[in-house]
A and B are shown apart, each in its own frame.
Chain A
Amino acid sequence: MTYQLTRRVVLGIYAVLVIVPLVVVIFGSLKTSQDLFASPFALPTNWQLDNYSKIVGESGLGVAFRNSVIVTGCSVPLTLFIASLASYGIARIPGWKSGLLLGFIVLGMAVPAQANMIPQYVQFETFGLTDSLLGLILINIVVTLPIAVFIMTGFLKTLPKELFEAAAVDGSGPWRTYRSIVIPVSVPSLSATAIFLFVIHWNDLLYPLLFIQDAAKRTIPVALLSFQGEFLTDYPLLFTGVVVASAPIVIAYVFLQRYFVAGITAGAVKG
């Protein structure tokens, strides 16, 4: 039974490694600096709630939250829409051309943002799209189109051809087929991809850091990063920022867990 033993030990240790830092952070946000350094693991001796009021009030996290909601709220549905259109087209176009098209788009997945960011910055600046939430929405869509198309095309290809052909025989054109068949059938893939995109867009740091100049237009990750400069020594305050910034996505995770998980596997194993 050494297998079972090893298994339990490994799982136990790793569970500790995940839980402990998170617990320290949560408790730490309610402590003073001295308390945190003295006993990081213990419950706070003096529950300090003013970190939380400071964070929401002074730090601009509230404004950043609104900006994040706007940007992610627009970019996720738009990416889904555009990518699903493209996937449907690619999945149904026969022959080598669709493979070429798919390959062309999916190539973008392997290119990290840092490789393109300088020309993209210059381009966006010329068009006046820097320092605007619209610019962020646009770049979010562009950067995640490859993976969204990849996942959804993978999914559509697993559907039986007869589904589409039957619709065509009925006299339904592609747009109607898209609306009345493809979308309903793709709901699992769409929702999984939606959550996947949500995590990526919500947590994106590079583009907001690069493009946004006005502090009133920052998103949450950038606002959180700026804590490092402003609230210098204050680990508890940093941790409060982490907790508040992560709260929305954690809440979503608790309730929509299987979609988070499904998003990772969609298209990954089907390939």
Chain B
Amino acid sequence: MSEKFTIDRRRFLTGLGALGTAGALSACVGPTITSRGGATAGSGSGASATLLGAVDAKPATGTISFAHWRAEDKAVFDTLIATFVKANPQAKVTQDISPSNDYQSTALQKVKGGNIGNAFTAFRGAQFVNMVKAGLYAGLGAQPFVDGYFAELIKAGQDPSRAQMGLPYQLVFNMPIYNEDAFAKAGVTALPEDWDGFLALCEKLKGAGFVPIAWPGGEPANSGQLINAMVMNNMPTDTAFADIEAGTRKVTDDWFLLTLKQYQQLAPFFEPNSTGTASEPLQQLFASGQAAMLATGSFHMGAVRKLGATFPINLIAPITVAKDKAKYEGIYNATFILGVNTAGKEQDTAVKWLQFLSDPVNAAVYANGTSQHLTVKNVDYTNADLKHTAPWLAKKTLLAPRFQFNNLDIRNAVEASCVAVVGGTAPEQAASQAQTVIDQKRK
């Protein structure tokens, strides 16, 4: 009897001890918690950004991991890596690619871990802002090769104190791409310059047997590309969506309700069941010539070519207001923000890899191989599609508003209201539902 009791009590005490240690251990992990109203974390924005010193001219050594999401660019990067390694035989570069959705969700934590992404990239908007806040970017502002970029275009890679932390590399146009042959076949001679003109264009295309606009309403990531062009002239300021996130504007305001009503007007010109379709089948639809416009962006030109599209492709933006009121002609975005990881080793090599990419010769290899424009100066575009769409580099384009959102829940709510309207919800109802979520999620 007493034997059992002794054991039980010992077991019990051991158990308590274990739990106690466990509790203490669990406090070691995670953040230090300050009391409410106490000093808030001063990390990131307040402190002055540390900029890396300029690197020397010696060849790079060591192995670095380059983290990004463009699986479709892997082969081109492999070619570039081969060239880099030839010039720097002691160095090695591996690519760590995640699908773009996963990259958006998990890259911050993964890069912070330091195991991958000695050189890494970020989406413009919420991801870049959070990564800067987390102190992941070793500032590149002091590097001489920064001068090789268009100053205006790399503003998206600056932190709130205007220090250049990262370098946006890709210059994409988030506007619908269109099939020039299809337009010609439908008898379209000039691009429309106002809203009525755009609707008439769609009518003509429909009459000629095409699906006027292939719109991936079923895919949150890409359904929102169209919204950029739809609001650029309805609210032609630089901060339309930032204001919505801040609360100074609402989606129930007239200009956004107008945008929703315009989506309603476009609905008959989308492919059937557009709210359920993702972008992949639509690339097929466009490449096969059945759809005249693909409402995503220039970043799909390469993919569409791979699917066998041989017709000339160009960009078009719906002008949602009268011709004389239109301030902007199109939308652009500077993204794929390159950076060096503060949590990683071999920072020197990482900088040299970025320097390599910033060289106009190498940049040209990337641009022409992936059909994307870049923010680097003096790039020789030999790719037919890039040359064809090059005039857009000089037009009056607005930096894509949808990336002004820092909170993805808010962005999804705003874009979902457009999808809801196409699906049959009344604009006022869709807007007020979205506004409720925005108000709840706004900090």
Contacts and interface: CB of A to CB of B under 8 A. Distances in A.
Interface of A: 33, 37, 97, 119, 121-123, 125-126, 130-131, 209-210, 213-215, 225-226, 228-230, 232-233
B106 interface: yes
4 closest Cβ pairs, A-B complex: A229-B99, A230-B71, A213-B110, A233-B280
B113 A125 contact: yes
B116 A131 contact: yes
21 contacts: A33-B284, A97-B8, A123-B26, A123-B29, A125-B109, A125-B113, A126-B28, A131-B113, A131-B115, A131-B116, A213-B96, A213-B117, A214-B96, A215-B97, A225-B99, A225-B102, A226-B99, A228-B99, A229-B69, A229-B102, A230-B74
A154 to B, nearest CB: 24
B96 A229 contact: no
A122 B113 CA distance: 10
Contact of A233 (B65, B99, B303): B303
Contacts of B98: 215, 226, 229
B373 to A, nearest CB: 21
Contacts of B116: 131, 213-214
Given A121-B109, A233-B307, A215 B96 contact: yes
A55 B281 CA distance: 21
Nearest to A226: B99
A180 B71 CA distance: 54
B320 interface: no
Nearest to B304: A233
A177 to B, nearest CB: 19
B71 A229 contact: yes
B102 A226 contact: yes
Contacts of A233: 280-281, 283-284, 303, 307
Contacts of A37: 284
Interface centre among A125, A130, A229 (most CB of B within 10 A): A229
Contacts of A214: 65, 96, 115-116
Interface in B92-137: 95-102, 106, 109-110, 113, 115-117
A229 B303 contact: no
A90 to B, nearest CB: 14
B147 interface: no
Contacts of A215: 95-98
A126 B29 contact: yes
A131 B113 CA distance: 9
B72 interface: yes
A209 to B, nearest CB: 7
A131 B8 CA distance: 41
Contact of B102 (A125, A131, A209, A232): A209
Contacts of B281: 233
Contacts of A130: 113, 115
B30 interface: yes
Contact of A232 (B74, B110, B113, B283): B283
Nearest to A215: B96
Nearest to A130: B113
Nearest to B65: A214
Contacts of B284: 33, 37, 233
B303 A122 contact: no
Nearest to A232: B280
Contacts of A232: 72, 279-280, 283, 303
B283 to A, nearest CB: 5
Nearest to A132: B115
Contacts of A121: 109
Contact of B71 (A122, A209, A225, A226): A226
A126 B115 CA distance: 13
A232 B29 CA distance: 40
B102 A213 contact: no
Contacts of B115: 130-131, 213-214
B141 to A, nearest CB: 27
Interface in B410-433: none
Contacts of A210: 106
Given A214-B115, A215-B98, A226-B98, 12 more contacts: A33-B307, A119-B30, A123-B29, A130-B113, A131-B116, A213-B113, A213-B115, A214-B116, A225-B99, A225-B102, A226-B102, A230-B74
Contacts of A226: 71, 97-99, 102
Contacts of B96: 213-215
A64 to B, nearest CB: 14
- Interface hub of A37, A215, A232 (most chain B Cβ within 10 A): A232
Q: Which of B96, B100, B284 gathers the greatest number of chain A CB atoms within 10 Å?
A: B284
A122 B69 contact: no
A214 B279 CA distance: 27
Contacts of B97: 215, 226, 230
Nearest to B100: A229
Given A122-B30, A210-B106, A230 B113 contact: no
A128 to B, nearest CB: 9
A213 B118 CA distance: 13
Contacts of B110: 131, 213
A126 B110 CA distance: 13
Nearest to B12: A97
A225 B74 CA distance: 17
Contacts of A228: 99
Contacts of B113: 125, 130-131, 213
B64 to A, nearest CB: 13
Interface string B334-377: 00000000000000000000000000000000000000000000
Contacts of A230: 71-72, 74, 97, 99
Interface in B55-85: 65, 69, 71-72, 74
A225 B109 CA distance: 19
A122 B26 CA distance: 10
Nearest to B106: A210
B81 to A, nearest CB: 15
Nearest to A123: B29
A229 B106 contact: no
